[in-house]
Chain A
Amino acid sequence: MNYEAVIGIETHVELLTHSKMFCGCPTDFGADPNTNVCPVCLGLPGALPVPNEQAIHWTIALGMALECSIAPHSVFHRKNYFYADLPKNYQISQFDLPLCVGGHLDVDGGTGERRVGITRVHLEEDTGKSTHLGGSGRIHDASGALIDFNRSGIPLMEVVTEPDIRTPEEARAYAQELRAIVLALGISDARLEEGSLRFDANVSLRPEGSTTLGTKVEVKNMNSLRSLQRALAFEIDRQNGVLAAGGTIAQETRHWDEAAGRTESGRGKEESSDYRYFPEPDLVPLEVGPELLARLRAGIPELPAVRRERYMAAGLDATAARTLVAGDLSGLFDDAVAAGAAPRAVANWLSGEVTAHLNRTGTDAADLTLDGAGLAELVEMVDSGEVSATAAKDVLAGVLAGEGTPRKVAERRDLLQISDVGALVVAVDEALAAHQDEVARIRGGDARLVGFLVGQVMKATGGRADPQAVDRLIRERTGA
Chain B
Amino acid sequence: MDPADLSIADAAERLRAGEVTAVELLAAVQRRASMTEAILHCYLTIDRDGAAAAAEAADAALARGEDLGPLHGIPIAVKDNMVTRGVETTCSSRILSGWVPPYDATAVERLRRGGAVIFGKTNLDEFAMGSSTENSAYGPTRNPWNPDRVPGGSSGGSAATVAVGSAFGALGSDTGGSIRQPAALCGVVGMKPTYGLVSRYGLIAFASSLDQIGPITRTVADAVTLFEVVAGHDPSDATSYRGEFPDPRAESGRGVAGLKIGVVRELSGDGIDPGVLSAFRATLDALAAAGAEVTEVSLPSTEYALSAYYLIAPAECSANLARFDGVRFGLRLPGDSVEQLMSASRRDGFGPEVTRRILLGTYALSAGYYDAFYGQAQKVRTMVIEDFSRAYRDVDVLVTPTSPSTAFGVGEKTADPLSMYLSDICTIPSNLSGDPAISVPVGLDGADLPVGFQILAPALHEAVMFRVAEEVERLVGFSSRPALATSEGAA
Contact = CB atoms under 8 A, between A and B. Distances in A.
Interface stretch (B115-123, B364-372, B441-449, B451-459): B364-372
B205 A46 contact: yes
A46 B201 contact: yes
A476 to B, nearest CB: 83
A278 B201 contact: no
Contacts of B318: 80, 276
Nearest to B362: A276
B239 A282 contact: yes
B96 interface: yes
Interface in B97-149: 99, 101-103, 105
A50 B327 contact: no
Interface string A38-52: 010011111111110
Contacts of B101: 44-46
Interface residues of B, number: 44
A145 interface: yes
B315 A50 contact: no
Given A45-B96, A46-B83, A281-B208, A78 B319 contact: yes
B365 A276 contact: yes
Contact of A90 (B96, B204, B315, B322): B322
A50 B236 CA distance: 6
Contacts of A314: none
B91 interface: yes
A87 interface: yes
Interface in A270-317: 274, 276-278, 281-284
A84 B338 contact: yes
Interface residues of A, number: 29
A82 interface: yes
B41 interface: no
B319 A48 contact: no
Q: Which applies to chain A's interface (DSSP): helix, strand, loop or mixed? A: loop
Given A88-B323, A276-B362, A283 B328 contact: no
Contacts of B370: 276, 278
Contacts of B236: 48, 50
Given A45-B96, A48-B237, A84-B327, A278 B203 contact: no
A281 B82 contact: no
B316 interface: yes
B471 interface: no
A396 to B, nearest CB: 52
A54 interface: no
Contacts of A274: 366-367
Contacts of B374: 278
Given A80-B322, A90-B319, A284-B238, A48 B328 contact: no
Interface in B164-212: 200-205, 207-209
A89 interface: yes
Contacts of A147: 327
A44 B102 contact: yes
Specify which of A84, A145, A147 lies most central, judged by the most chain B CB atoms within 10 Å of its CB. Answer: A84
B315 A278 contact: yes
A245 B315 CA distance: 49
Interface in B335-383: 338-339, 342, 362, 365-367, 370, 374
B238 A282 contact: yes
Interface in A68-90: 78, 80, 82, 84, 87-90
A102 B332 CA distance: 46
Given A50-B238, A82-B339, A278-B374, A44 B329 contact: yes
Contact of B323 (A50, A51, A89, A281): A89
A144 to B, nearest CB: 10
A88 to B, nearest CB: 5
A284 to B, nearest CB: 6
Nearest to A274: B367
Nearest to A23: B236
Contact of A82 (B102, B322, B366, B367): B322
A51 B209 contact: no
Nearest to A130: B338
B323 A45 contact: yes
Specify which of B99, B319, B362 lies most central, judged by the most chain A CB atoms within 10 Å of its CB. Answer: B319
B86 interface: no
B316 A281 contact: yes
B14 to A, nearest CB: 35
A50 B235 contact: yes
Nearest to A81: B322
B127 to A, nearest CB: 10
23 contacts: A44-B101, A45-B96, A45-B99, A46-B101, A46-B202, A46-B204, A50-B235, A50-B236, A50-B238, A80-B318, A82-B322, A84-B325, A84-B338, A84-B342, A89-B322, A89-B323, A274-B367, A276-B318, A276-B362, A278-B316, A278-B319, A278-B374, A284-B238
The 7 closest A-B pairs by CB, nearest first: A89-B322, A281-B208, A276-B365, A281-B209, A46-B202, A45-B204, A46-B83
Interface of A: 39, 42-51, 78, 80, 82, 84, 87-90, 145, 147, 274, 276-278, 281-284
Given A87-B328, A90-B322, 13 more contacts: A39-B102, A43-B328, A44-B328, A45-B323, A48-B200, A48-B201, A78-B319, A82-B322, A82-B342, A87-B323, A276-B365, A276-B370, A283-B238
